[in-house]
Amino acid sequence: MKFSDDELVARTLSGDYRAIARFITRIENNDTKAAALAASMRRACGRAHVVGITGSPGAGKSTLVDSMIRAYRAAGKSVAVIAVDPSSPFTGGAILGDRIRMNLAAEDPGVFIRSMATRGSLGGLARATLESVHVLDSAGFDIVLVETVGVGQAEVDIVRTADTCVVVLVPGMGDSVQIIKAGLMEIADIFVINKADREGALHLEKDLYSLLALEEFVPGQWKPKILRTVATSGEGVVEAVVSTQEHLQWLETSPQGASRRLAVVTQTLVSLIAHRALDEKLSGREELLNRLAQECVSRKRTSLEAVAEFFKKNGH
Amino acid sequence: MKFSDDELVARTLSGDYRAIARFITRIENNDTKAAALAASMRRACGRAHVVGITGSPGAGKSTLVDSMIRAYRAAGKSVAVIAVDPSSPFTGGAILGDRIRMNLAAEDPGVFIRSMATRGSLGGLARATLESVHVLDSAGFDIVLVETVGVGQAEVDIVRTADTCVVVLVPGMGDSVQIIKAGLMEIADIFVINKADREGALHLEKDLYSLLALEEFVPGQWKPKILRTVATSGEGVVEAVVSTQEHLQWLETSPQGASRRLAVVTQTLVSLIAHRALDEKLSGREELLNRLAQECVSRKRTSLEAVAEFFKKNGH
C-alpha cells in the first residue's frame, strides 16, 4: 500500500503501524522528502524517553531488550525499538533471532520493532536512526529503545544521542580494560551486568565500582548505576527499567541534567550536520571523485592531494 | 625537542623515529599545517603494503599483531603499527598491554608502533589514521599494520581503507551471525581463527566456509582465505603473513585487484572529504550551534528543524 505524503504524516501522527514502517523505510533509503516530512511533525516531539542500549556482541542485549519491553509494557508504557544493525548486503539484513521479537510486536499494539540497517557509510546510519527516533517520538511512543549490535565508535556515537545510555556487560567476556577501550565509561548512565548467574559476575561488578571510584562526581551529578540481571529469567529487569526512569527524572529536574541534555543535543546536531555536509559536497561531483580516485590508484596523486584538489575545484 | 616544519619533513622521509612520532602527534592534534606537510611528501608514496586487522575485543588481536611483526621482520620487512584505540579521556589513552610492544619497538629499528586515540568525533579518527599511514608510508616502512580495538562501523570503515583486511575471530565468542552483523564478511580478505587450539575452532571454520559458499565468486576475484593460528605460540602466523603477501600480489597484478583498489581509494577519499566538509561547516559557527542546541533542549525546535536552520543561515 502506498500513502500520499500527507497521509503518511497524518497516519504516523495517529500511530498507524504501516505508515510508521513505511516512513522509516523511506528514511532508510535516504529519501530527502521523507526527512523534510519528519522535520515537519512537531506534535508531542521530545515527549518520548529515548534509551540507548549497547554492549559487546554476545552480552545478551536482544534478550534483555525483550525483557525490558515486557517490563515497560507492564508499567503501561508503549515501546518502540530500533535495532541498529550494521548488516551486510550479503544477507539483506535478515538476521536470526528477530523472529521472536517480531511476534512480540505482532501480538501487542503497544510495541513497535524495527531493524535499521547500514548502507555503507559514514553517518548515514546515525542520521537514519535519529530521524526514525523522531518519527517514533511523533507517533506517540512513550519509550524509544535504540539498541546497537557492536560497541564501535559509530555505535557509541549513536547511543550517545539517547537520553539514557545502558551499557550491557557479561561476566567473563573481556575485562575492565575493554570497557575503557570501547569508551563505555564515558557514556554509561546504567551498567547492566547480564547473565549475572554466571561465574565472574561479582568480579566484574567489583571492577566496575573500582573504575567508577576513579572518577570524580560533583554533587547533583548522575553517578552511573550498576545492576545485575538474568535477562532469560527476567531477574533484575524491572530494576533496570526503574533506573532508566530515575535517570530521566534526574535529566528533567536537575540543572546538571539540563546541561547533560544540552551536551547530548549538541552531539546529535553535529552528527546530523556532518552527514548533510558530506551529501552536499559529493552531490553532482561523482565524476570528479572517480577521476581523482583513478589518479590515486595509478599513483599520480596521493589521497591527501586528491582531497585538496577536490576542495579546490569546489571553490573552497 | 622541536623540529622546524622543513626538518620534520626531511627527518620523516629519512625514517627518523622521533620526527615520525612528532608528526603523528601533530596530525592527532588536528594540526592543519601538519596535514599539509603530510600531503607534500610524495617520495615513495603508495609503496607500503597497508594491512588492516580487526576483530572482537578478546580475539587476541594484539598478540597476533606482535607475532606478525616478528614474521614480517624475519622476512626482512620493516613494519609500522597503528593501533586505533578509541580510549577514554578518563585514562588519557594509557592502555595496558602496550608495554610489551613498546619494548619490541625499542629494541628493533625496523619496527615502529603507535596508538592512535580518538578525540571524540566523527571521522576524526579515520582522518588521523589515514594521514598517519601516509606519513609512515613516506617514511619508508614496507608494511603498515592498522589494528582496531572494536568491530564497530567506524573501525570497519578504517580497516576497509587498507590494501588487505585481516579479520580475527576466536572460537566460542559469538557465532557466524555476529560475523555477518558486524559487516565482516564484506571486508575480510583473510579470516584468521586465532586461539585455534580451543574447542570450537573446527566448528567456526566450518561456519566460515558455509558463509563463503553462499557468496558468488567470479573467476579472478579474490576468495577470502581462512587460516588457523595460535598467536601465543606463533603457530600459523607465518602462513597468515604469506597470505597477506599473496593478496597484495593479486591486487597489483590482476584487473579484479585493480578495481578492488579503486573501490578502496574511493572509500578513503569520501572519508577524508566528509571530515573536512564538517570542519568547514562548523568553523566559526559554534555560537549558532550552541543557540540551536539550547532551543532544542527547551523544545522550541526539533533537532531536524535546528539542522535545517543551521544550513539556511549558512546560505546553503
* ipTM of predicted complex: 0.75
Q: Which residues contact B145 (CB under 8 A, 6 or more apart)?
A: B51, B52, B53, B65, B68, B69, B79, B80, B81, B82
In the DSSP assignment, the letter for residue B3 is -
DSSP readout, A1-67? ----HHHHHHHHHTT-HHHHHHHHHHHHTT-HHHHHHHHH--TTTT-SEEEEEEE-TTS-HHHHHHH
Q: What percent of chain B has pLDDT over 90?
A: 37
Compare CB distances from B262 to A89, A155, A297 and report the shortest one's residue: A297
State how beta strands A49-55 and A164-169 pair.
parallel
Instruction: Please count the residue pairs, one from chain A and one from chain B, whose beta carbons lie less than 8 angstroms apart.
Output: 256
Where is pLDDT greater, at B141 or A170? B141
Distance of residue A237 Cα from the nearest chain B Cα, in angstroms:
23
| Grid coordinates of B275 | 571530515
Contact A269 B293 (CB under 8 A): yes
Give all strands of the β-sheet with A225-228 in edge-to-edge order. A111-117, A79-85, A143-148, A49-55, A164-169, A190-193, A225-228
Chain centroid to CA B166: 11
- How does the average pLDDT of chain B come out, rounded? 82
Question: pLDDT band at residue A233, thresholds of 50, 70 and 90?
Answer: very high
Within 10 A of A261 (CB to CB), how many other CB atoms are there?
17
Contact B293 A186 (CB under 8 A): no
Chain centroid to CA A214: 28
Q: What is the pLDDT of residues B10-58, one digit of tens each?
A: 999 998 988 999 999 898 887 878 888 887 786 556 689 999 998 876 7
Residue numbers in A near B266 (CB within 8 A): 289-290, 293
Task: Tally the residues of chain A.
Answer: 316
| Grid coordinates of A252 | 528533567
Q: What is the pLDDT of residues A32-89, one digit of tens each?
A: 788 888 877 865 566 899 999 988 767 888 889 999 999 999 999 999 999 886 543 3
* In the predicted structure, residue A105 carries a pLDDT above the cut 80: no
Question: pLDDT band at residue B177, thresholds of 50, 70 and 90?
Answer: low
Q: What is the pLDDT of residues A242-259, one digit of tens each?
A: 999 999 999 999 999 998
Q: What is the pLDDT of residues B90-120, one digit of tens each?
A: 333 334 445 566 666 667 889 998 887 655 4
Highest-confidence segment of A231-245, B183-197, B284-298: A231-245
Distance (Å, rounded) from C-alpha B277 to C-alpha B286? 15
Residue numbers in A near B214 (CB within 8 A): 90
Contact A177 B85 (CB under 8 A): no
Q: What percent of chain A has pLDDT over 70?
A: 82
Q: Which of B195, B225, B240, B229 is nearest to B72 (CA)?
A: B240
Q: The cell 585455534 sits on which residue?
A: B196
Q: What is the pLDDT of residues A259-285, one digit of tens each?
A: 888 988 888 888 788 878 888 888 889
For residues A50, A51, A52 and A55, what is the CA-based torsion angle, rounded to 10 degrees? -170
Distance of residue A71 Cα from the nearest chain B Cα, in angstroms:
27
Identify the closest residue of chain B to A181 by CA–CA distance.
B87
Q: What is the pLDDT of residues B154-168, one digit of tens each?
A: 677 788 889 999 999
